[in-house]
Chains A and B, each alone.
Chain A
Amino acid sequence: MLSFEDVHAGYGRSVVLHGVSLSVPADGVAAVLGHNGAGKSTLLRAAIGLLTPRSGRILLDGDDITGLAPHDRVARGMAYVPQGQQSFPHLTTAENLQLVADGRRDGRAAMAESLDLFPALKDLLPRRAGLLSGGQRQQLALARALITRPRLLLLDEPTEGIQPSVVAEIEQTILSLAARGGLSVLLVEQHVGFALRAARTYHVLEAGRVTSTGDGGADAEPRVRRALTV
């Protein structure tokens, strides 16, 4: 579905990714694991087009999308939920969703569908997103991303900094989305246990390089933990 071919990327003079090659299977979850600063978020920013690689290619269904603007990638079926429960703080919950639904023929239906996945948001529609709790904002972020009916979802630490009661709920939603079919997920996580349970394949990223790759599943956990502690 999505593949990186020898991608080098960074900010200003500092290079973060040193030749990353990996791919996300169709209809599956690929997890990217690694320590802080390994380049996980940078990888996702390059995938959605917020960052242009210095060299290497990014392919979606075999098409080179390396030079496309973010909104063109969204139009091709990609969606991205950045780190840190981001929203448009001065827009209401409803406006945050409406913004993405505007101009889409199926916008109204897609928005209703998204809200059905996160029913807690229905009571919060008139509230400004900046006033929501972290967990609510993350649900809003996921709902917003799903309105575009993506084929590929890029998730950057979806459960980081969220109260434990909501974490389980969000994890459950991600697992059921991935199981539904028609959706691939590139999941960046610190939380190794959950990531491997969800993932079909995993990639360990260290200092901007992929150092180990394998099949997901709970039995991969000892191997990955060993790779991460070295």
Chain B
Amino acid sequence: MTLVLSQLFTGISIGAVLLLIALGLSLTFGQMNVINMAHGELIMVGAYTVYVLQQVISGAGWSLLIALPVAFAVAGLIGVLLEVSLIRRLYLRPLDTLLVTWGVSLLLQQLARDVFGAPNVQTRAPEILTGSIRITDDLAISSSRVFILVLALAAVAAVTLVLRTTPLGRRIRAVVQNRDLAAVSGLATGRIDRLTFFIGSGLAGIAGVALTLIGPIGPAMGTNIIVNAFLVVVVGGIGQLKGTVIVAFVLGVLQSMVEYTTTTSVASVIVFVTIVAFLQWRPQGLFTLRTRSLA
């Protein structure tokens, strides 16, 4: 029983990481249909933000806390810069967008190598997040994993709240559902695209901050992440936040359960095969949002 519970929690925490890295993408790719291959590098930007802040601020706890808004802003601004300079000119040309943003991804990786060096860098985790929380005598969960879970859920709640209740959220949803009708209803669709991109990219920065607690920070970290992020959004269904949330946790738990009975590599293979089979059965993903455009 303890074993199942501990595997379950491991799965949920893998899911929380998947959710964080996919959440921003579910806005830029899921809502706006932009294939941004540099999304992983925006996550890297968030992670390096922690590293840079720790050179200035000595307290690990404070630096992590301050890193959250700073990483959101920095990654968001880089995202907007990317949207304004390149992606905006390539709307409706997904293949070109893919190639161009892949180029940007390589460029940002090289930039990171030049500035911070090729080897991975280390950050300090705040003391409060280094231990673990003992649940029963033989079940303990690491505090950093709990922190990531809370952060992921808070981010989802914030995004949902913004989309559901604010004027900006209404505008974002309207542009997604019927871009031309939004334009003729008086909405400046270009500006709304930029804001959506800012939020989506900013969320990548937040994910980067969280990843410093559990893994190495290096120029290539984005590459390892991007595939999983796209998988979660595609399987969840384009344009559906709830799909992203459910699929992140299901994949996380699946990975951890299969991993326990086999090995990490075999588990990855099994999870991938499951995804491929699922997409054969439901190519549109778990949930779909039907949109109509102006005839």
- Residues of A whose CB lies within 8 Å of any CB of B are 48-50, 69-71, 74-75, 79-80, 82-84, 86-91, 95, 98-100, 102-103, 144-145, 148
Contacts of A84 in B (CB 8 A): 295
Q: Which of B174, B187, B190, B294 contacts A82 (CB 8 A)?
A: B294
Q: Is there contact, CB below 8 Å, between A69 and B171?
A: no
Contacts of A145 in B (CB 8 A): 185
Q: Is there contact, CB below 8 Å, between B295 and A83?
A: yes
Contacts of A82 in B (CB 8 A): 180-181, 184, 294-295
Q: Is there contact, CB below 8 Å, between A95 and B186?
A: no
Min C-beta distance of A162 to chain B, whole Å: 16
Q: Is there contact, CB below 8 Å, between B183 and A99?
A: no
User: 30 A-B residue contacts at CB 8 Å?
Assistant: A48-B184, A69-B183, A69-B188, A69-B190, A70-B183, A70-B184, A71-B187, A74-B185, A74-B186, A82-B184, A86-B292, A87-B178, A88-B173, A88-B182, A89-B177, A89-B290, A89-B292, A90-B177, A90-B289, A91-B170, A91-B173, A91-B177, A98-B170, A99-B174, A100-B186, A102-B170, A102-B171, A103-B167, A144-B185, A145-B185
Contacts of B185 in A (CB 8 A): 74, 99-100, 144-145
Question: Known contacts being A69-B183, A86-B181, A90-B177, is A95 close to B170, with CB within 8 Å?
Answer: yes
Q: Is there contact, CB below 8 Å, between B167 and A86?
A: no
B189 at the interface (CB under 8 A from A): yes
- With the chains together, A144 CA to B171 CA distance in Å? 14
Question: Known contacts being A83-B295, A89-B290, A91-B177, is A71 close to B183, with CB within 8 Å?
Answer: yes
Q: Which of B187, B189, B295 contacts A99 (CB 8 A)?
A: B187
Q: Is there contact, CB below 8 Å, between B184 and A91?
A: no
- With the chains together, A80 CA to B294 CA distance in Å? 12
Q: Is there contact, CB below 8 Å, between A50 and B184?
A: yes
Interface string of B217-250 (1 = CB under 8 A from A): 0000000000000000000000000000000000
**Residue among B181, B188, B290 facing the most chain A CB atoms (10 A cut-off):** B181
**Residue among A83, A86, A98 facing the most chain B CB atoms (10 A cut-off):** A86
Min C-beta distance of A3 to chain B, whole Å: 20
Contacts of A100 in B (CB 8 A): 185-186
Q: How large is the interface on B (under 10, 10 to 19, 20 to 34, 35 or more residues)?
A: 20 to 34
Q: Which of B247-295 contact A (CB under 8 A)?
A: 289-292, 294-295
Min C-beta distance of A97 to chain B, whole Å: 10
- With the chains together, A143 CA to B281 CA distance in Å? 42
Q: Is there contact, CB below 8 Å, between B294 and A88?
A: no
Q: Which of B147-186 contact A (CB under 8 A)?
A: 167, 170-171, 173-174, 177-178, 180-186
Q: From A44, which residue of chain B is reached at the shortest CB distance?
A: B184
- With the chains together, A86 CA to B178 CA distance in Å? 9
Q: Which of B182, B186, B190, B294 contacts A148 (CB 8 A)?
A: B186
Contacts of B184 in A (CB 8 A): 48-50, 70, 74, 79-80, 82
- With the chains together, A83 CA to B295 CA distance in Å? 8
Interface string of B181-201 (1 = CB under 8 A from A): 111111111100000000000
- With the chains together, A14 CA to B30 CA distance in Å? 33
Q: List the 4 shortest-distance A-B pairs measured between CB atoms, nearest first.
A: A74-B186, A102-B167, A70-B183, A80-B184
- With the chains together, A80 CA to B182 CA distance in Å? 11
Min C-beta distance of B91 to chain A, whole Å: 15
- With the chains together, A48 CA to B181 CA distance in Å? 11
Q: Is there contact, CB below 8 Å, between A88 and B186?
A: no
Q: Is there contact, CB below 8 Å, between B289 and A71?
A: no
Min C-beta distance of A40 to chain B, whole Å: 13
Contacts of A90 in B (CB 8 A): 173, 177, 289
Q: Is there contact, CB below 8 Å, between A88 and B188?
A: no
- With the chains together, A141 CA to B182 CA distance in Å? 12
- With the chains together, A74 CA to B295 CA distance in Å? 20
Q: From A86, which residue of chain B is reached at the shortest CB distance?
A: B181
Q: From B168, which residue of chain A is reached at the shortest CB distance?
A: A102
Q: From A148, which residue of chain B is reached at the shortest CB distance?
A: B186
Q: Which of B77-133 contact A (CB under 8 A)?
A: none
Min C-beta distance of A103 to chain B, whole Å: 7
Contacts of A102 in B (CB 8 A): 167, 170-171
Min C-beta distance of B52 to chain A, whole Å: 37
**Residue among B180, B183, B184, B292 facing the most chain A CB atoms (10 A cut-off):** B184
Q: From A98, which residue of chain B is reached at the shortest CB distance?
A: B170
- With the chains together, A145 CA to B289 CA distance in Å? 25
- With the chains together, A87 CA to B173 CA distance in Å? 12
Contacts of B186 in A (CB 8 A): 70-71, 74-75, 100, 148
Contacts of A95 in B (CB 8 A): 170
